[in-house]
Protein backbone atom coordinates (compact mmCIF):
# COMPACT_ATOMS: atom_id res chain seq x y z
CA UNK A 1 0.00 0.00 0.00
CA UNK A 2 2.73 2.47 1.02
CA UNK A 3 4.87 1.82 -2.05
CA UNK A 4 1.83 2.18 -4.31
CA UNK A 5 1.00 5.54 -2.72
CA UNK A 6 4.63 6.62 -3.15
CA UNK A 7 4.38 5.90 -6.85
CA UNK A 8 1.07 7.73 -7.14
CA UNK A 9 2.54 10.81 -5.47
CA UNK A 10 5.63 10.77 -7.68
CA UNK A 11 3.51 10.26 -10.81
CA UNK A 12 1.30 13.15 -9.79
CA UNK A 13 4.15 15.67 -9.50
CA UNK A 14 6.67 14.28 -11.99
CA UNK A 15 8.16 17.01 -14.17
CA UNK A 16 6.64 19.92 -12.23
CA UNK A 17 9.85 20.70 -10.32
CA UNK A 18 8.11 21.76 -7.09
CA UNK A 19 10.45 22.95 -4.30
CA UNK A 20 8.88 20.42 -1.90
CA UNK A 21 10.03 17.38 0.04
CA UNK A 22 7.23 15.12 1.32
CA UNK A 23 7.99 13.49 4.66
CA UNK A 24 6.06 10.22 4.85
CA UNK A 25 4.69 8.41 7.94
CA UNK A 26 7.41 5.77 7.47
CA UNK A 27 10.12 8.40 7.88
CA UNK A 28 11.07 8.29 4.22
CA UNK A 29 11.10 11.43 2.07
CA UNK A 30 9.97 12.02 -1.49
CA UNK A 31 11.66 14.94 -3.23
CA UNK A 32 9.52 16.66 -5.84
CA UNK A 33 12.49 18.48 -7.36
CA UNK A 34 16.29 18.25 -7.45
CA UNK A 35 16.64 20.93 -4.77
CA UNK A 36 13.64 20.89 -2.40
CA UNK A 37 13.55 23.67 0.19
CA UNK A 38 10.19 23.08 1.93
CA UNK A 39 9.18 20.03 3.98
CA UNK A 40 5.55 18.91 4.08
CA UNK A 41 4.89 16.26 6.72
CA UNK A 42 2.27 13.62 5.96
CA UNK A 43 1.47 12.16 9.40
CA UNK A 44 -0.84 9.39 8.15
CA UNK A 45 -1.14 7.24 5.04
CA UNK A 46 -4.61 8.70 4.25
CA UNK A 47 -2.80 12.05 4.17
CA UNK A 48 -0.41 10.65 1.56
CA UNK A 49 -3.44 9.60 -0.48
CA UNK A 50 -4.77 13.16 -0.19
CA UNK A 51 -1.45 14.47 -1.48
CA UNK A 52 -1.65 12.05 -4.40
CA UNK A 53 -5.11 13.38 -5.38
CA UNK A 54 -5.23 16.85 -3.83
CA UNK A 55 -7.95 19.45 -3.87
CA UNK A 56 -7.87 22.68 -1.92
CA UNK A 57 -10.70 21.38 0.24
CA UNK A 58 -9.13 18.00 0.99
CA UNK A 59 -5.79 19.61 1.85
CA UNK A 60 -7.58 22.02 4.22
CA UNK A 61 -9.32 19.09 5.93
CA UNK A 62 -6.03 17.18 6.28
CA UNK A 63 -4.39 20.29 7.77
CA UNK A 64 -7.24 20.92 10.22
CA UNK A 65 -7.10 17.36 11.58
CA UNK A 66 -3.32 17.37 11.89
CA UNK A 67 -2.77 14.74 9.19
CA UNK A 68 -0.60 17.18 7.25
CA UNK A 69 1.75 19.80 8.69
CA UNK A 70 3.22 22.59 6.63
CA UNK A 71 5.80 25.12 7.86
CA UNK A 72 5.51 28.86 7.42
CA UNK A 73 2.81 31.47 7.58
CA UNK A 74 -0.78 30.92 6.49
CA UNK A 75 -0.07 32.82 3.28
CA UNK A 76 2.83 30.48 2.49
CA UNK A 77 0.67 27.43 3.27
CA UNK A 78 -2.00 28.61 0.81
CA UNK A 79 0.59 29.21 -1.90
CA UNK A 80 1.96 25.69 -1.39
CA UNK A 81 -1.54 24.20 -1.50
CA UNK A 82 -2.31 25.87 -4.82
CA UNK A 83 1.09 24.72 -6.10
CA UNK A 84 0.17 21.12 -5.24
CA UNK A 85 -3.34 21.31 -6.69
CA UNK A 86 -2.47 23.24 -9.83
CA UNK A 87 -5.16 25.10 -11.75
CA UNK A 88 -8.79 24.66 -10.84
CA UNK A 89 -12.01 26.30 -11.88
CA UNK A 90 -15.04 27.75 -10.18
CA UNK A 91 -18.52 26.88 -11.26
CA UNK A 92 -21.56 24.95 -10.22
CA UNK A 93 -21.80 23.31 -6.84
CA UNK A 94 -21.72 19.54 -6.68
CA UNK A 95 -24.91 17.65 -5.81
CA UNK A 96 -23.26 16.76 -2.49
CA UNK A 97 -22.61 20.43 -1.81
CA UNK A 98 -26.21 21.42 -2.61
CA UNK A 99 -27.59 18.67 -0.35
CA UNK A 100 -25.38 19.83 2.51
CA UNK A 101 -26.55 23.41 2.04
CA UNK A 102 -30.21 22.37 2.14
CA UNK A 103 -29.62 20.27 5.27
CA UNK A 104 -27.97 23.26 6.91
CA UNK A 105 -30.94 25.46 5.97
CA UNK A 106 -33.29 22.92 7.55
CA UNK A 107 -31.32 23.16 10.80
CA UNK A 108 -32.38 26.79 10.95
CA UNK A 109 -30.67 30.16 11.05
CA UNK A 110 -30.20 30.17 14.82
CA UNK A 111 -28.14 26.97 14.94
CA UNK A 112 -26.08 27.97 11.91
CA UNK A 113 -25.28 31.41 13.32
CA UNK A 114 -24.44 30.01 16.75
CA UNK A 115 -22.08 27.48 15.16
CA UNK A 116 -20.05 30.31 13.65
CA UNK A 117 -20.29 33.14 16.16
CA UNK A 118 -20.68 31.46 19.55
CA UNK A 119 -17.11 30.19 19.54
CA UNK A 120 -15.67 32.44 22.24
CA UNK A 121 -15.68 36.21 22.56
CA UNK A 122 -12.16 35.97 23.98
CA UNK A 123 -11.01 34.17 20.83
CA UNK A 124 -12.42 36.86 18.55
CA UNK A 125 -10.79 39.58 20.69
CA UNK A 126 -7.38 38.12 19.87
CA UNK A 127 -7.56 39.26 16.25
CA UNK A 128 -10.45 41.69 15.76
CA UNK A 129 -10.14 45.43 16.36
CA UNK A 130 -11.05 46.97 19.72
CA UNK A 131 -14.72 47.41 18.66
CA UNK A 132 -14.90 43.75 17.54
CA UNK A 133 -16.08 44.56 14.01
CA UNK A 134 -16.26 41.26 12.12
CA UNK A 135 -16.65 42.50 8.55
CA UNK A 136 -14.64 44.21 5.82
CA UNK A 137 -12.81 47.36 6.93
CA UNK A 138 -12.57 50.52 4.81
CA UNK A 139 -9.05 51.74 4.12
CA UNK A 140 -8.73 55.35 3.03
CA UNK A 141 -4.93 55.28 3.19
CA UNK A 142 -2.22 52.59 2.88
CA UNK A 143 -1.09 53.59 6.37
CA UNK A 144 -4.45 53.01 8.08
CA UNK A 145 -4.46 50.62 11.01
CA UNK A 146 -7.23 48.05 11.37
CA UNK A 147 -8.77 50.15 14.17
CA UNK A 148 -8.81 53.25 11.96
CA UNK A 149 -10.15 51.38 8.94
CA UNK A 150 -12.99 49.78 10.91
CA UNK A 151 -14.06 53.10 12.36
CA UNK A 152 -13.98 54.53 8.83
CA UNK A 153 -16.16 51.63 7.65
CA UNK A 154 -18.75 52.35 10.33
CA UNK A 155 -18.84 56.03 9.40
CA UNK A 156 -18.91 55.20 5.67
CA UNK A 157 -22.08 53.15 6.21
CA UNK A 158 -23.69 55.80 8.42
CA UNK A 159 -22.96 58.54 5.90
CA UNK A 160 -24.19 56.46 2.96
CA UNK A 161 -27.47 55.99 4.81
CA UNK A 162 -27.53 59.73 5.64
CA UNK A 163 -28.36 58.92 9.27
CA UNK A 164 -29.91 61.86 11.09
CA UNK A 165 -30.80 62.56 14.73
CA UNK A 166 -33.82 60.69 16.07
CA UNK A 167 -34.25 58.55 12.97
CA UNK A 168 -34.95 54.88 13.65
CA UNK A 169 -32.16 52.58 12.49
CA UNK A 170 -32.10 48.78 12.32
CA UNK A 171 -28.94 46.68 12.01
CA UNK A 172 -29.79 43.14 10.85
CA UNK A 173 -27.12 40.82 12.24
CA UNK A 174 -25.54 43.43 14.49
CA UNK A 175 -22.52 41.38 15.57
CA UNK A 176 -20.90 42.77 18.71
CA UNK A 177 -22.75 46.05 18.33
CA UNK A 178 -20.16 48.40 16.85
CA UNK A 179 -22.45 49.87 14.19
CA UNK A 180 -25.50 50.52 16.37
CA UNK A 181 -23.33 52.04 19.10
CA UNK A 182 -21.49 54.30 16.64
CA UNK A 183 -24.73 55.30 14.92
CA UNK A 184 -26.33 56.30 18.22
CA UNK A 185 -23.30 58.07 19.68
CA UNK A 186 -22.16 60.03 16.65
CA UNK A 187 -25.32 60.38 14.53
CA UNK A 188 -28.00 60.50 17.22
CA UNK A 189 -30.27 57.79 15.85
CA UNK A 190 -32.46 55.44 17.85
CA UNK A 191 -30.83 52.14 16.98
CA UNK A 192 -31.97 48.53 17.18
CA UNK A 193 -29.60 45.63 16.62
CA UNK A 194 -30.73 42.04 16.14
CA UNK A 195 -28.65 38.87 16.32
CA UNK A 196 -29.11 35.12 16.75
CA UNK A 197 -25.85 34.72 18.68
CA UNK A 198 -26.22 34.55 22.46
CA UNK A 199 -22.60 35.62 22.95
CA UNK A 200 -23.07 38.69 20.77
CA UNK A 201 -26.38 39.57 22.40
CA UNK A 202 -24.87 39.44 25.90
CA UNK A 203 -21.90 41.52 24.79
CA UNK A 204 -24.03 44.24 23.17
CA UNK A 205 -26.31 44.49 26.20
CA UNK A 206 -23.30 44.96 28.44
CA UNK A 207 -21.83 47.63 26.14
CA UNK A 208 -25.14 49.54 25.99
CA UNK A 209 -25.23 49.69 29.79
CA UNK A 210 -21.54 50.54 30.04
CA UNK A 211 -21.94 53.50 27.65
CA UNK A 212 -25.24 54.65 29.15
CA UNK A 213 -27.09 54.32 25.85
CA UNK A 214 -30.21 52.55 27.10
CA UNK A 215 -32.41 55.39 25.79
CA UNK A 216 -30.81 55.21 22.30
CA UNK A 217 -29.86 51.58 21.63
CA UNK A 218 -31.50 48.24 22.15
CA UNK A 219 -30.56 44.72 21.06
CA UNK A 220 -32.82 41.74 20.48
CA UNK A 221 -32.13 38.03 20.16
CA UNK A 222 -34.44 37.46 17.20
CA UNK A 223 -34.50 36.32 13.58
CA UNK A 224 -35.12 39.14 11.11
CA UNK A 225 -38.08 37.20 9.69
CA UNK A 226 -39.79 37.39 13.08
CA UNK A 227 -39.61 41.19 13.36
CA UNK A 228 -43.08 42.74 13.69
CA UNK A 229 -44.26 44.53 10.55
CA UNK A 230 -46.25 47.24 12.32
CA UNK A 231 -42.94 48.99 13.12
CA UNK A 232 -41.14 50.75 10.24
CA UNK A 233 -37.51 51.90 10.31
CA UNK A 234 -36.15 54.98 8.59
CA UNK A 235 -32.85 53.29 7.74
CA UNK A 236 -31.68 49.66 7.70
CA UNK A 237 -28.24 48.08 7.40
CA UNK A 238 -27.30 44.45 6.90
CA UNK A 239 -23.55 43.95 7.16
CA UNK A 240 -21.95 40.53 6.63
CA UNK A 241 -25.21 38.70 7.31
CA UNK A 242 -26.95 38.02 4.00
CA UNK A 243 -24.39 35.34 3.05
CA UNK A 244 -26.42 33.13 5.44
CA UNK A 245 -29.72 33.80 3.66
CA UNK A 246 -29.48 31.57 0.57
CA UNK A 247 -30.36 32.64 -2.97
CA UNK A 248 -33.75 30.91 -2.89
CA UNK A 249 -34.64 32.97 0.17
CA UNK A 250 -33.89 36.38 -1.37
CA UNK A 251 -37.62 37.08 -1.87
CA UNK A 252 -38.21 36.51 1.87
CA UNK A 253 -35.13 38.53 2.83
CA UNK A 254 -35.54 41.57 0.61
CA UNK A 255 -39.34 41.39 0.91
CA UNK A 256 -39.10 41.58 4.69
CA UNK A 257 -36.72 44.53 4.46
CA UNK A 258 -39.10 46.39 2.12
CA UNK A 259 -42.06 45.80 4.43
CA UNK A 260 -40.30 47.11 7.56
CA UNK A 261 -38.61 50.04 5.79
CA UNK A 262 -40.47 53.36 5.89
CA UNK A 263 -41.40 54.93 2.53
CA UNK A 264 -38.46 57.06 1.42
CA UNK A 265 -36.16 55.04 3.68
CA UNK A 266 -32.76 53.63 2.72
CA UNK A 267 -31.16 50.21 3.15
CA UNK A 268 -27.52 49.21 2.79
CA UNK A 269 -26.70 45.56 2.08
CA UNK A 270 -23.03 44.69 2.61
CA UNK A 271 -21.96 41.18 1.66
CA UNK A 272 -19.69 38.76 -0.16
CA UNK A 273 -20.36 37.77 -3.78
CA UNK A 274 -18.82 35.56 -6.44
CA UNK A 275 -16.85 37.24 -9.19
CA UNK A 276 -17.62 34.55 -11.79
CA UNK A 277 -21.05 35.21 -13.26
CA UNK A 278 -22.39 31.64 -13.27
CA UNK A 279 -20.53 30.42 -10.16
CA UNK A 280 -22.48 28.85 -7.33
CA UNK A 281 -19.44 27.87 -5.30
CA UNK A 282 -15.68 28.01 -5.18
CA UNK A 283 -14.14 24.97 -6.84
CA UNK A 284 -11.66 22.33 -5.70
CA UNK A 285 -13.76 21.42 -2.64
CA UNK A 286 -13.43 24.87 -1.06
CA UNK A 287 -17.18 25.54 -0.73
CA UNK A 288 -17.76 22.12 0.84
CA UNK A 289 -14.98 22.72 3.37
CA UNK A 290 -16.46 26.06 4.39
CA UNK A 291 -19.95 24.53 4.66
CA UNK A 292 -18.71 21.66 6.85
CA UNK A 293 -16.32 23.53 9.13
CA UNK A 294 -17.14 27.24 9.19
CA UNK A 295 -20.36 28.58 7.68
CA UNK A 296 -23.13 25.95 7.63
CA UNK A 297 -26.01 27.27 5.59
CA UNK A 298 -23.98 29.93 3.79
CA UNK A 299 -24.40 30.54 0.07
CA UNK A 300 -22.92 33.08 -2.33
CA UNK A 301 -23.82 34.27 -5.81
CA UNK A 302 -22.82 36.95 -8.31
CA UNK A 303 -23.75 40.53 -7.40
CA UNK A 304 -26.09 40.69 -10.40
CA UNK A 305 -28.28 38.02 -8.76
CA UNK A 306 -28.31 39.99 -5.51
CA UNK A 307 -29.36 43.15 -7.35
CA UNK A 308 -32.05 41.18 -9.19
CA UNK A 309 -33.40 39.86 -5.89
CA UNK A 310 -33.35 43.31 -4.31
CA UNK A 311 -35.12 45.03 -7.21
CA UNK A 312 -37.68 42.23 -7.59
CA UNK A 313 -39.01 43.14 -4.13
CA UNK A 314 -39.58 46.80 -4.97
CA UNK A 315 -36.36 48.32 -3.64
CA UNK A 316 -34.60 50.82 -5.90
CA UNK A 317 -30.84 50.42 -6.20
CA UNK A 318 -28.93 53.67 -6.63
CA UNK A 319 -25.37 52.95 -5.54
CA UNK A 320 -23.03 49.94 -5.64
CA UNK A 321 -19.45 49.92 -4.36
CA UNK A 322 -16.98 47.03 -4.67
CA UNK A 323 -14.58 46.64 -1.74
CA UNK A 324 -12.74 43.47 -2.77
CA UNK A 325 -9.23 44.77 -2.06
CA UNK A 326 -10.38 46.17 1.28
CA UNK A 327 -11.55 42.75 2.41
CA UNK A 328 -8.35 41.02 1.29
CA UNK A 329 -6.35 43.45 3.43
CA UNK A 330 -8.76 43.10 6.37
CA UNK A 331 -8.54 39.31 6.31
CA UNK A 332 -4.75 39.21 6.05
CA UNK A 333 -4.59 41.57 9.02
CA UNK A 334 -6.84 39.24 11.02
CA UNK A 335 -4.66 36.27 10.05
CA UNK A 336 -1.49 38.11 11.08
CA UNK A 337 -3.03 38.99 14.46
CA UNK A 338 -4.24 35.42 14.99
CA UNK A 339 -0.77 34.05 14.21
CA UNK A 340 0.81 36.53 16.63
CA UNK A 341 -1.50 35.17 19.33
CA UNK A 342 -1.18 31.51 18.39
CA UNK A 343 -0.62 30.17 21.92
CA UNK A 344 -3.54 32.12 23.39
CA UNK A 345 -5.78 31.05 20.51
CA UNK A 346 -4.93 27.38 20.94
CA UNK A 347 -5.53 27.62 24.68
CA UNK A 348 -8.92 29.29 24.10
CA UNK A 349 -10.43 27.07 21.37
CA UNK A 350 -8.09 24.10 20.93
CA UNK A 351 -5.72 23.10 18.14
CA UNK A 352 -8.30 21.91 15.62
CA UNK A 353 -10.55 24.96 15.80
CA UNK A 354 -7.52 27.25 15.69
CA UNK A 355 -6.46 25.52 12.46
CA UNK A 356 -9.97 25.86 11.01
CA UNK A 357 -10.00 29.61 11.55
CA UNK A 358 -6.42 30.11 10.43
CA UNK A 359 -6.86 28.30 7.12
CA UNK A 360 -10.41 29.62 6.55
CA UNK A 361 -9.46 33.27 6.96
CA UNK A 362 -6.23 32.88 4.99
CA UNK A 363 -8.12 31.07 2.24
CA UNK A 364 -10.73 33.82 2.16
CA UNK A 365 -8.03 36.50 1.96
CA UNK A 366 -6.43 34.56 -0.90
CA UNK A 367 -9.79 34.32 -2.70
CA UNK A 368 -10.40 38.06 -2.47
CA UNK A 369 -6.83 38.85 -3.47
CA UNK A 370 -7.05 36.57 -6.51
CA UNK A 371 -10.43 37.94 -7.58
CA UNK A 372 -12.42 34.77 -6.97
CA UNK A 373 -14.68 36.62 -4.52
CA UNK A 374 -15.78 40.21 -4.14
CA UNK A 375 -17.53 42.36 -1.53
CA UNK A 376 -20.30 44.80 -2.44
CA UNK A 377 -22.13 47.52 -0.57
CA UNK A 378 -25.50 47.97 -2.28
CA UNK A 379 -27.46 51.10 -1.34
CA UNK A 380 -31.16 51.13 -2.15
CA UNK A 381 -34.36 52.85 -1.12
CA UNK A 382 -38.09 52.26 -0.80
CA UNK A 383 -39.83 54.82 -3.02
CA UNK A 384 -42.89 56.71 -1.83
CA UNK A 385 -46.19 55.61 -3.38
CA UNK A 386 -45.82 58.36 -5.99
CA UNK A 387 -42.37 57.04 -6.98
CA UNK A 388 -40.29 59.74 -5.30
CA UNK A 389 -37.11 58.68 -3.49
CA UNK A 390 -35.41 61.82 -2.16
CA UNK A 391 -31.63 61.57 -2.03
CA UNK A 392 -28.58 63.79 -2.66
CA UNK A 393 -27.74 64.45 -6.30
CA UNK A 394 -24.11 63.28 -5.99
CA UNK A 395 -22.02 60.93 -3.89
CA UNK A 396 -20.18 63.78 -2.18
CA UNK A 397 -22.29 63.45 0.98
CA UNK A 398 -20.81 59.96 1.57
CA UNK A 399 -17.26 61.17 2.06
CA UNK A 400 -15.91 63.02 5.06
CA UNK A 401 -13.40 65.77 4.32
CA UNK A 402 -9.79 64.81 4.88
Domain limits at 368? 98-398
User: Mean per-residue pLDDT for 313-323?
Assistant: 98
Does residue 338 form part of some domain?
A: yes
Contact 82, 57 (CB under 8 A): no
**Quick one: pLDDT at residue 91?**
52
Same domain, 282 and 305: yes
Q: How many domains does the chain have?
A: 2
Same domain, 315 and 228: yes
For residue range 164-210, list pLDDT tens digits in order: 999 999 999 999 999 999 999 999 999 999 999 999 999 999 999 99
**102 pLDDT exceeds 80?**
no
Same domain, 236 and 139: yes
Contact 299, 103 (CB under 8 A): no
Contact 274, 300 (CB under 8 A): yes
**103 pLDDT exceeds 60?**
no
Q: What are phi and psi of 313, to 5 degrees?
A: -95, 15
Same domain, 343 and 205: yes
Percent of the chain with pLDDT over 90: 79
Between CA 133 and CA 207 the distance in angstroms is: 14
Does residue 91 form part of some domain?
A: no
Does residue 90 form part of some domain?
A: no
Between CA 19 and CA 14 the distance in angstroms is: 12
Name the residue among 310, 328, 327 with its Cα closest to residue 319: 310
Q: What is the CATH number of the domain that holds 189?
A: 3.40.50.150
Name the residue among 50, 13, 20 with its Cα closest to residue 35: 20
Same domain, 193 and 336: yes
Evaluate if pTM is beyond 0.85: yes
For residue range 114-167, list pLDDT tens digits in order: 444 557 899 999 999 999 999 999 999 999 999 999 999 999 999 999 999 999
Same domain, 79 and 105: no
Same domain, 79 and 123: no
Same domain, 166 and 33: no
**100 pLDDT exceeds 90?**
no
Name the residue among 111, 133, 115, 137 with its Cα closest to residue 124: 133
Sorting pLDDT into bands at 50, 70 and 90, what band is 296? Answer: confident
Does residue 221 form part of some domain?
A: yes
Same domain, 49 and 128: no
Name the residue among 370, 374, 368, 369 with its Cα closest to residue 275: 374
Mean per-residue pLDDT over the chain, rounded: 91
Domain boundary among 85, 108, 132: 85
Does residue 92 form part of some domain?
A: no
Cβ atoms < 10 Å from Cβ of 177: 28
Sorting pLDDT into bands at 50, 70 and 90, what band is 401? Answer: confident
Does residue 13 form part of some domain?
A: yes
Does residue 153 form part of some domain?
A: yes
Same domain, 119 and 221: yes
For residue range 35-66, list pLDDT tens digits in order: 999 999 999 999 999 999 999 999 999 999 99
Same domain, 119 and 62: no
Contact 262, 384 (CB under 8 A): no
Does residue 93 form part of some domain?
A: no
**Quick one: pLDDT at residue 114?**
46
**Quick one: pLDDT at residue 101?**
45
Between CA 211 and CA 53 the distance in angstroms is: 55
Domain boundary among 42, 64, 85: 85
Same domain, 78 and 104: no
Name the residue among 179, 146, 183 with its Cα closest to residue 162: 183
Domain boundary among 39, 57, 85: 85
User: Mean per-residue pLDDT for 240-268?
Assistant: 96
Q: In DSSP terms, which residues pair with 23 in a beta bridge?
A: 29, 41
Amino acid sequence: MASRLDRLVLDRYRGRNLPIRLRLPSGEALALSDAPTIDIHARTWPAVKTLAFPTMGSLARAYVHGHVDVPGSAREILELAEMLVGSFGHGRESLRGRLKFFRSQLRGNRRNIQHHYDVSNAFYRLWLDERMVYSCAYYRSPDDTLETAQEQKLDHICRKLALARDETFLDIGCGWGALVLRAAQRYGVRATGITLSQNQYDHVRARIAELGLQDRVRVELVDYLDLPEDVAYDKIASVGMFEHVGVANYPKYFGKIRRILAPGGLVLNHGITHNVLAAQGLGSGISEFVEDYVFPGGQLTHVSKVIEGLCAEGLELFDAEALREHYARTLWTWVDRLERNVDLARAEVGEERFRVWRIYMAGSAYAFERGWLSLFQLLAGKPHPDGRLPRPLTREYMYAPR
